[in-house]
Copies of this chain bind each other. A is one copy, B any other.
Amino acid sequence: MRRRSSRPGAFPQCRLVRMAPRAGLMTSALVVGCGLIGASVGMALRDAGWDVFLEDEDPAAVGTAVRRRAGQPWENGVRTEIAVIAVPPRLTAAVLFATQTRNVAQTYTHVASVQSHVQREVEGLSTDLSTIVGGHPLAGRELSGPAAATADLFAGRPWAICAGPQTGGQAVTALRGLVAAVGADAVALTAAAHDAAVAVLSHLPQVTASALAAGLVGAGLQADELRLAGPGLVDTTRLAASDAALWEQILELNAPHVAPVLTDLAARLTSAAAALTSLSDEPSPPQAAAAVAAVRDLLRTGNAGRALVPVKRGVRSEAFAPVRVTVRDEPGRLAALLTDAGLAGVNVEDVHVEHIPGRPTGVIELAVEVGDVIVLTDALRAAGWSVADPD
């Protein structure tokens, strides 16, 4: 059942989409580990109408999660439909097995970034593998801990479901119910396929960003030189700010899948370095041509690889185009601009505000459907706004 109103409800914690508990559907969960992921799972399930119970070896984490309304502390005797083990990857199998031994849930899952290693560990510990199913939500924030948790962390994000050979159908159904309740998209694949994919899509970018950022230490750049940095450096090194203690575990446990792709990447960069070194050393024309061709090949293959990257959330779709407006940087201008856009009957899909340090103006980019660009440009200009010519 969905409740919709013409305007968000009047209660502070009210959310627009709430699933009421229904007979026959799973409606209770135990979350073991109240970090960012565990507390966010609790908040999202609570919003979906579930009863959520919380555990953590740190009582303070449980307390914070309870205050965030992620659930209530687990009490002796409570048995839930599904237990979610949300602890660091190295501890996942042991904590999952200990939880199963207490017989506090019908199904047991976890959220580890590495599936094969955890699955092997679990197979070495448990004698009832039918109620255990691996899971991994592809979601996170640069912050950590229950204070950073949000109920919408998983909305629209993929959630890998990695059933083992002995996982029962009921356990998979149970995890699918949880994934749907938090608004994520279930992606079923084997543990090995998962680990190979995230090695390329997630773990390799992490190592690369760290290695690139590490080069800035000791590079001896002066403050004036660092000012030349642009958004390219900012984007390519963003992941380097990640939690080193967590990533050390992920890379160790997924080493069999990361090592070969990292070896390949290092070889590509070593070849490119050799080509550029030869260009620095007054090469013969054929040597220079070969070196430039090697660099060109890398850049073009990079173009082709980038085209494979699914660019979805947070990045503007091809169907939309920007309308750029220069405005004074003071309260209320953004609201006034969007009100005028609304009066023009144009839906603004996205907004990007660019502040110009030390200047009294900023640029606001409104993303609208391509067919609305001229309409909106004309309407805003008629209302007195300074709008750049459309691209």
Contact = CB atoms under 8 A, between A and B. Distances in A.
A interface residue count range (under 10 / 10 to 19 / 20 to 34 / 35 or more)? 35 or more
Number of copies of this kind of chain in the complex: 2
A231 B314 contact: yes
A127 interface: no
Interface stretch (A19-27, A80-88, A167-175, A334-342): A334-342
Given A155-B363, A356-B183, A8 B385 contact: yes
Interface stretch (A71-79, A98-106, A267-275): A267-275
B263 A266 contact: no
A361 interface: yes
Contacts of A301: 210, 213-214, 217
A222 B185 CA distance: 17
Contacts of A204: 212, 215
Given A259-B273, A296-B248, A386-B14, A232 B202 contact: yes
A384 B205 contact: no
A197 B216 contact: no
A215 B264 contact: yes
A308 B214 CA distance: 10
Contacts of A209: 232, 236, 302, 306
Interface in A188-216: 189, 193-194, 196-198, 200-202, 204-216
A234 interface: yes
22 contacts: A4-B328, A7-B384, A9-B386, A158-B228, A198-B228, A205-B212, A208-B212, A209-B306, A211-B269, A211-B298, A214-B302, A215-B305, A229-B309, A229-B310, A237-B309, A238-B306, A241-B303, A252-B295, A259-B273, A259-B280, A266-B273, A313-B354
A343 to B, nearest CB: 9
B269 A266 contact: yes
A15 interface: yes
A182 to B, nearest CB: 12
A138 interface: yes
Contacts of A356: 155-156, 183, 313
Nearest to A348: B334
Contacts of A244: 296, 299-300, 302-303
Contact of A302 (B138, B213, B310, B330): B213
A391 B68 CA distance: 9
4 closest A-B pairs by CB: A210-B302, A213-B305, A335-B338, A255-B279
A115 to B, nearest CB: 11
A32 interface: no
A230 interface: yes
Contact of A202 (B12, B183, B230, B330): B230
B310 A227 contact: yes
Contacts of A286: none
A256 interface: yes
A347 to B, nearest CB: 4
